[in-house]
Amino acid sequence: MRADIICGLDIGASEIRALVGHASGAPSKSKKETPLNSQSEILGFVESPTRGFSKGVVSNLSLLSDAIEETISKAEAAAHCKVRKVITNIAGAHIKNFKSRGSVHISDRPSEITEQDIKRCVESAKLIAMSLDREVVHLIPEKFYIDDKIEINDPLGLFGSKLDVDLNIVTSLVSILQNLTKAINLAGYEVEDIIASGVGTALAVFDRQELEEGAILIDVGKDLIEAALFMEEMLKDCFYFPFGSDDLTQALQDKLRIMFSEAEELRIKYGIVSKDNRELFDDSRIVIPSSKDERGPGREDAQSDHKRSGGNWVDSETSGAGVFSSANSDRAVAVSRQEIYNMLFPKVEEIMKEVYKKIEPFLKQKKKLPRIYVVGGVSRMDGFVEAVEEIFEVPVDMGRIRDSRDFHDVRFAGALGLMRYGVCKAGEKKCGNIFNVNSFAGRVLSRIQSIFSEYF
């Protein structure tokens, strides 16, 4: 079993994705080295349906454990190697951020600030009033101050008598961390690290300059939206909203009174949420056949005898319009893409306005607009990115994989970012520089290993 094998395990509400890789080059002692340009090689990647996990929490321990075991076993087969430890992610409304300031006295006369001084300063900032049911996931030093006057990003090696730090503390409920760790342990694997989902995905879709100048990641999943804000290569804040593709599917089901699976297929094939894609608003209609017909949603010519007004039920055997009832399951529904837009866009507009309210202060405090990327299954719907851009009134793009030779599947952005994070941390350990505030992974200091020693 190779010691340098790193597995990124992205546990989502719809899919579990595992990506196995390892460092392909010698670790660099350069302070400019980050996970974004760390050399890594992808050995194998797979995905499997998620079971026992929703809205960022474990809902069924045994089902999730089995799903994790199945996914990683397939990844091991694809990579032709064994996995012992994984780096996974966490997201959800249970994630909370705190701001704190810490301070330590170094000496009466100015002396050189050491790595141990920085650690003591960070630890002092961590000692804030926090309920016993919460645990620290990340400690992110935002600014250091020497002798209450000099503001600096990296105080290591400088001289001073007193050191202060402004700390961004990302926390989660202890029970959620414990349940996720136990599910992975039951699958036969150890948890090496747990980081915020937005941090992992950012390492795959942004380059270093974007993270330095300002970047916003919006991940729209099955039942959750995550918005992560980055500046100076640091996670500044993250927000979560209980909305996802299931809510759009539910809107179609409620309006058209069809099965959820039919509404899901309709959303995936024909969903459109932007006014800009008017060329897709043709006169043809989409017919969802009756339960007796297993063909799935299909197109119907506008001049067909079956054409009816918006979303009316059409008898599948006769040309006369019928009224749907639970007992009348042999009738089909016909709907146009314009009508689908009318059902979906208001939902998207409502939730994206809420997202914008959270990120608006971040946008306004910058002279240059940050890069905004949208990822997740919903982002691939026709017109979704354009709809977000229309609501935000700033440029928005679909996220894509960065700095990867022949790997471009954005669905694995989260797993790839987790693997890159692991490569960087492993490189820092080899260099004896685990506390490198100039690297992305060093700035996002994980506290999960201390949780394992305390609770497991």
Domain that holds residue 191: 6-92+175-241+399-455
Note whether 87 and 152 are same-domain residues.
Answer: no
The helix/strand/coil state of 346 is: helix
Domain assignment present for 188: yes
**How does the average pLDDT of the chain come out, rounded?**
81
Instruction: Report pLDDT for 337.
Output: 83
Note whether 151 and 102 are same-domain residues.
Answer: yes
Domain assignment present for 428: yes
**CATH number of the domain that residue 110 is part of:** 3.30.1490.110
Is the pLDDT confidence value at 127 over 90?
Answer: no
Domain assignment present for 169: yes
Is the pLDDT confidence value at 329 over 90?
Answer: no
Residue-wise pLDDT for 59-78, tens only, equals 999 999 999 999 999 999 99
Distance from C-alpha of 365 to C-alpha of 372, rounded to nearest angstrom: 15
With beta carbons less than 8 A apart as the criterion, state whether 280 and 258 touch. no
Note whether 293 and 424 are same-domain residues.
Answer: no
CB atoms within 10 A of CB 90: 22
Note whether 86 and 219 are same-domain residues.
Answer: yes
Note whether 206 and 67 are same-domain residues.
Answer: yes
Domain assignment present for 363: no
pLDDT confidence bin for 430, thresholds 50/70/90 = low
Instruction: Report pLDDT for 175.
Output: 95
Instruction: Report pLDDT for 227.
Output: 96
| Domain boundary residue, one of 133, 156, 173 | 173
Instruction: Report pLDDT for 328.
Output: 40
Instruction: Report pLDDT for 38.
Output: 55
**CATH number of the domain that residue 405 is part of:** 3.30.420.40
Range 175-193 average pLDDT: 96
Note whether 156 and 206 are same-domain residues.
Answer: no
| Domain boundary residue, one of 173, 204, 229 | 173
Note whether 190 and 168 are same-domain residues.
Answer: no
Instruction: Report pLDDT for 368.
Output: 82
* Residue 27 φ/ψ region, left for φ over 0, alpha for ψ in the -120 to 50 degree band, beta for the rest: beta
With beta carbons less than 8 A apart as the criterion, state whether 2 and 396 touch. no
Note whether 196 and 295 are same-domain residues.
Answer: no
Please tell me the total count of domains within the chain: 3
| Domain boundary residue, one of 335, 353, 378 | 335
Burial class (CB in 10 A: 0-12, 13-18, 19+), 215: buried
Top-confidence residue, 280 or 94:
94
Domain assignment present for 360: no
Is the pLDDT confidence value at 444 over 80?
Answer: no
Note whether 156 and 191 are same-domain residues.
Answer: no
Q: Give Cα 149 to chain centroid, integer Å.
A: 38
Domain assignment present for 18: yes
Comparing 32-46, 69-83, 318-332, 391-405, the range with the smallest average pLDDT is 318-332
Residue-wise pLDDT for 282-295, tens only, equals 667 888 775 544 44
pLDDT confidence bin for 278, thresholds 50/70/90 = low
Instruction: Report pLDDT for 298.
Output: 59
Note whether 438 and 315 are same-domain residues.
Answer: no
Closest CA to 342 of 423, 256, 221: 256
Note whether 52 and 187 are same-domain residues.
Answer: yes
Note whether 37 and 161 are same-domain residues.
Answer: no
Domain assignment present for 317: yes
Q: Which two tokens stand for residue 211?
A: 């993270």
What is the residue-wise DSSP string for 287-343? EE--TT--S-SEEE-TTSTT--STT-EEESSSSSB----TT-TTEEEEE-HHHHHHH
Is the pLDDT confidence value at 232 over 80?
Answer: yes
Comparing 81-85, 251-255, 375-379, 446-450, the range with the smallest average pLDDT is 446-450
Range 18-30 average pLDDT: 72
Closest CA to 272 of 377, 385, 407, 116: 385
Distance from C-alpha of 204 to C-alpha of 421, rounded to nearest angstrom: 10
Instruction: Report pLDDT for 372.
Output: 95
Comparing 7-11, 253-257, 379-383, the range with the smallest average pLDDT is 379-383
Domain assignment present for 54: yes
Is the pLDDT confidence value at 184 over 50?
Answer: yes
Is the pLDDT confidence value at 383 over 50?
Answer: yes
Residue-wise pLDDT for 410-419, tens only, equals 999 999 999 9
